[in-house]
Structure 1
Amino acid sequence: MSRVRTRPTRDDTREKLFEAAARVFEEQGIGGASIEAIAAAAGFTRGAFYSNFKSKDELIIAMLEDHVEQSMRRIRDLLERHKSLADFIDALKTMDRSQQDPLGRSPLLHMEMILFVARAEKRRPELAKRLRARKKLVTDIIETTARNSGRTTILNPTWAGALVLALEDGFRLHRLIDPETTPPDSFFRAIGDLQRAMGISSA
């Protein structure tokens, strides 16, 4: 009889390394975390780490890329199921963060990793690529919800998408630093104000 394959797939290994790296980064800091510590936390050898990533920087870039891809997939799925802007925003509000990837569950770590990569000028194009993908997604959402409501927007959708993304990142940072004066619904309240300014119906 043939033996059942029990060795983890490449995707399984990467996912375990992502989860382990998130834990180690939060405990030891991104700069202080070693490849050995990350591999050990994932239950792998140093060799297993290097069979997937050439360096810690490459691991971080992969984690950021995975986060953006998963976030975009979840949001596009929500947009497909919730056609009106009001329903879509309600679905966003109730999204289960515990089911997300490590960076989705920890906004602070996500921001720390972005800043860590941004310190290396040669790595910034990697971040810019993902930022543009996020902007494109938000622009698509604005155009789709406006079209579904039968209205046209006052603001250029691309510029409106940049505004929405800046609001999201800004309120996330403010919430981390000063939660007392930044309510959890600050971003969505701002979206409501922006929505009215753009003349998009919520129906």
Structure 2
Amino acid sequence: MSRLRTRPTRDDTRDRLFEAAARIFEEQGIGGASIEAIAAAAGFTRGAFYSNFKSKDELIIAMLADHVEQSIRRNLDLLDRHKNLADFIDALKNMDKSRQDPLGRSPLLHMEMILFVARAEKRRPDLAKRLRARRKLITDIVETTLKNSGRNGSLNPAWTGAIVLALEDGFRLHRLIDPETTPADSFLRAISDLQRAIGISSA
């Protein structure tokens, strides 16, 4: 009796390529990583890679898009369960990172990939879409937590969201440059300090 041969779905193939690419990028650098090495690390042929992505740049854009989509779902789910800022920050601190996508598990790789893509001017509009989506997510979080703290209208959520996002990316870049003086939790610590400074209660 012959066995049924099961093939990975398109989503499974992409996920395996994402995981393999993250490993190869961290080991060999983004610029030095070859499509052959990524495909082999995922257990696929070069042809399987090209059936999903036209180039390494397209793979990277897809990984960034996937990360933003997963981050939005994850954060909105947390916000639904933790509606004040202090509790939301605590939930972020205690989140199980092992279950996140490769870029969620490695914020430094995320920043490296953003910088790599940003060097190509024609790719910047793709990055801009992800940036706007991230900014809107943080704006929604700020708006919801301000409303639930009774301080709705005390701050401009869109501008505050832009500041918070710049702060997050800044700490990621600083950690990439000088990890010794930039702890992994620097961003969340800074947000907690700001929350106390502007007097948003945890009630």
Segments of structure 1 that go 5 or more residues without pairing to the other structure are none
Counterpart CA distance in 2 for 1:47 and 1:178 is 39
* 8 A contact 2:89–2:192 mirrored in 1: no
Shift in alpha-carbon separation, 1:27–1:79, aligned structure 2, 3 A: same
Amino acid at match of 1:159: W
Offset, 1:81: 0.8
Higher mean C-alpha displacement, 190-199 vs 125-134: 190-199
Amino acid at match of 1:195: Q
Offset, 1:3: 7.0
Q: What SS does the aligned partner of 1:7 have?
A: coil
Offset, 1:165: 0.6
Higher mean C-alpha displacement, 150-159 vs 61-70: 150-159
Counterpart CA distance in 2 for 1:3 and 1:146 is 58
Give the match for residue 116 of structure 2: 116
1:107 matched to 2:103: no
Offset, 1:5: 6.0
Give the match for residue 154 of structure 2: 154
Amino acid at match of 1:173: L
Give the match for residue 8 of structure 1: 8
Pick 1 or 2: higher relative contact order, CA cutoff 8 A, min separation 6: 2
Query: CA-atom RMSD, angstroms?
Result: 1.9
1:78-89 pair list within 5 angstroms: 78-89=78-89
1:145 matched to 2:145: yes
Counterpart CA distance in 1 for 2:184 and 2:153 is 27
TM-score by length of 1: 0.92
1:170 matched to 2:157: no
* 8 A contact 2:86–2:192 mirrored in 1: no
Counterpart CA distance in 1 for 2:8 and 2:196 is 50
- CA deviation map 1:22-58 (0-9, x unaligned): 1111111111111111111111111111110111110
Give identity over the alignment, percent.
Answer: 86
Counterpart CA distance in 2 for 1:147 and 1:155 is 10
1:192 matched to 2:192: yes
Counterpart CA distance in 1 for 2:189 and 2:25 is 32
Offset, 1:196: 4.4
Segments of structure 2 that go 5 or more residues without pairing to the other structure are none
1:74 matched to 2:68: no
* 8 A contact 1:39–1:46 mirrored in 2: yes
Give the match for residue 18 of structure 1: 18
Counterpart CA distance in 1 for 2:74 and 2:87 is 15
